[in-house]
Amino acid sequence: MKKLMQAALCALLLTGTGTSAARNATVSLHADQARDTISRMIYGQFAEHLGSCIYGGIWVGEDSPIPNTRGYRNDAIKAVRDLGVPVLRWPGGCFADDYHWRDGIGPRDKRPTLINNNWGGTKEDNSFGTHEFLDFCELVGTEPYVSGNVGSGTVGEMAQWVEYMTSEDGPMAKERQANGRKEPWKVKYFGIGNESWGCGGNMRPEYYSDIYRRYSTYARDRAGNRLYRIASGASDYDYNWTETLMKRIQPHRMDGLSLHYYTVMSWDDKGSATQFDERRYYETIGKCLEIEPVIERHIEIMDRYDRNRQTDLLVDEWGTWWDEEPGSVPGHLYQQNTMRDAMVAALTLNVFHRHADRIHMANIAQVANVLQAMWLTDGDKLILTPTYHVFRMYAPHKDAVSIPLSVACETIKDANGRPVPTLAATASRAADGSVAICLTNPMLDENCEVDIALPDAIPSKISSAEILTSAKISDMNTFEAPETVKPQAFDGAKIKKGHLMIKMPKASIVALTLR
């Protein structure tokens, strides 16, 4: 019977003839089982030398008419600070394994202009280099995550880069000081290559394991700076890559192992970011949610070789990947961002919360003007995307203790047979005792009435309530209408007789705080 109902609902959705009915769901909070802290690093970002992510999106140079502080655009500084970005990954991506750090130090007018071979053959003038990146991180209060070059760089080059950034004395420290930076920077997160199975060198996992051991040996800890070394991990379903690295690299040599998972339908047919039908929408949600079984399988492999869990999992690239916007520069991966992207962000963050015991960091790709961006720029204009708003609404979960929960709701199937539950939820308790609950109703045609029985241990006063929704799932912010999609105060949540009752409109994300 249930199967029949699901099939009927699926057909209804895919033909787009649904009515605005209301559906019910209940959420049970298991506050007594709350144990794992959601690392704030899960809210990390990624900034690659790709298109206008760095150049235009963050860096405009000191002489730019765009208001800036030492060359960083002021509106980008504000956006990062307001969001409280905990960590920023740089300089790539694929660019990292083509990047020679010496090109980006010293007087800017003496730095070489090269070609960005990975991304559209654009000119790279190296005006944004090591000093500019690490100073930006200090300015906005974010931790740097630097990816080293193992694809086309030598062991010595990587070793010297680490020394240049983090040593107090010696020849590299002197060179850094001559370039204007007296004290070493603190650099904890250091990647040993990126996508070494692909753009980072097309290596086999056996070969990369040895390369990792060799390069990481010389990426040394310097006085007061302990590196957290990250191995270049698998792409989505490549379990053999994870298995081989876990087998061949001892966990104590590898603080983190990365995983890349993009919500992309097919590499040959990614589809438009802004024009899509219901069928494509649900396929997107199904594909996005498939990250959970993928993560679980990688963790299961890691656990077999690392019972003491010395190596963390880092999803250091994730997000939606659509066709480039018509008229944008080919190879720059510029895409718009709609309420559908907001849904993907919320649903994926929920998954990371559920695996807080093993996932230490995640970095959405990318922070500005590339893929599922936080903001888009056009000259002196900057607009915040729906995805930015989700990250802001979810902020109370950072460093809070994840509260396990179960959701009783119907599940439909997308056109590929992937499950899509009709309600998703996540909850956590902050150090001050407040509890944050975020709910997502991914259904395009049905509102949802949610009932959450509040255990004694959960505070029973709603202290803040916000909703992100829009008339159409394809709604977006544009330079002409920058506030089409933005959070609003929400009055659809009430507490009655120990139950939190929420009336969620269709296609909406609600964030509540209880005190």
Instruction: With contacts defined by CB under 6 A, name the span among 87-95, 161-169, 426-434, 452-460 that binds ligand AHR.
Output: 87-95
Alpha helices in 195-254, H assignment, sequence order: 205-218, 239-248
Instruction: Encode 164-175 in three state secondary structure.
Output: HHHCCCCHHHHH
Task: Give the residue with the Cβ less far from ligand AHR, 255 or 317.
Answer: 317
250 contacts: CB under 8 Å, gap ≥ 6: none
Site for ligand AHR in 187-216 (CB under 6 A): 194-195
How many residues interact with ligand AHR (rule CB under 6 A)? 10
CB of 381 to ligand AHR, least distance (A): 24
Instruction: With contacts defined by CB under 6 A, name the span among 54-62, 69-77, 92-100, 381-389 that binds ligand AHR.
Output: 92-100
Q: Which two tokens stand for residue 74?
A: 């002021």
Contact status, residue 498 vs residue 442, Cβ threshold 8 Å: no
CB of 272 to ligand AHR, least distance (A): 19
Task: Give the residue with the Cβ less far from ligand AHR, 333 or 427.
Answer: 333
Task: Give the residue with the Cβ less far from ligand AHR, 135 or 238.
Answer: 238
Residue 359: which of 294, 421, 410, 417 has the closest Cα?
Answer: 294
Residue 89: which of 41, 35, 52, 121 has the closest Cα?
Answer: 41
Task: Give the residue with the Cβ less far from ligand AHR, 72 or 318.
Answer: 318
Task: Give the residue with the Cβ less far from ligand AHR, 200 or 271.
Answer: 200
Residue nearest to ligand AHR (CB): 93
CB of 204 to ligand AHR, least distance (A): 18
Site for ligand AHR in 38-77 (CB under 6 A): 48
CA 393/CA 512 separation, integer angstroms:
9
What element of type H or E holds 3?
helix 2-15
Helices (H) and strands (E) in the chain, counts: 11, 27
Please tell me whether residue 458 binds ligand AHR under the rule CB under 6 A: no
331: number of Cβ within 10 Å? 15
Residue 448: which of 489, 508, 495 has the closest Cα?
Answer: 508
Task: Give the residue with the Cβ less far from ligand AHR, 54 or 427.
Answer: 54
Q: Which two tokens stand for residue 165?
A: 């950034």
Active-site choice (195, 283, 324, 446): 195
CB of 365 to ligand AHR, least distance (A): 4
Active-site choice (48, 317, 324, 466): 317
What element of type H or E holds 433?
none
CA 217/CA 6 separation, integer angstroms:
54
Task: Give the residue with the Cβ less far from ligand AHR, 94 or 346.
Answer: 94
Q: Which of 143, 317, 410, 414 binds ligand AHR (CB under 6 A)?
A: 317
CB of 324 to ligand AHR, least distance (A): 12
Contact status, residue 315 vs residue 363, Cβ threshold 8 Å: yes
CB of 200 to ligand AHR, least distance (A): 8
User: Residue 121: which region, alpha, beta or left (left: phi > 0; alpha: psi -120 to 50)?
Assistant: left
Contact status, residue 62 vs residue 71, Cβ threshold 8 Å: yes
CB of 332 to ligand AHR, least distance (A): 11
Please tell me whether residue 283 binds ligand AHR under the rule CB under 6 A: no
CA 427/CA 405 separation, integer angstroms:
8
Is 317 among the catalytic positions? Answer: yes
CA 261/CA 314 separation, integer angstroms:
11
Please tell me whether residue 93 binds ligand AHR under the rule CB under 6 A: yes
Please tell me whether residue 92 binds ligand AHR under the rule CB under 6 A: yes
Instruction: With contacts defined by CB under 6 A, name the span among 3-11, 90-98, 458-466, 490-498 that binds ligand AHR.
Output: 90-98
Is 62 among the catalytic positions? Answer: no
Q: What residue ranges bind ligand AHR (CB under 6 A)? A: 48, 92-94, 194-195, 317, 365-366, 371
Residues marked as catalytic: 195, 317
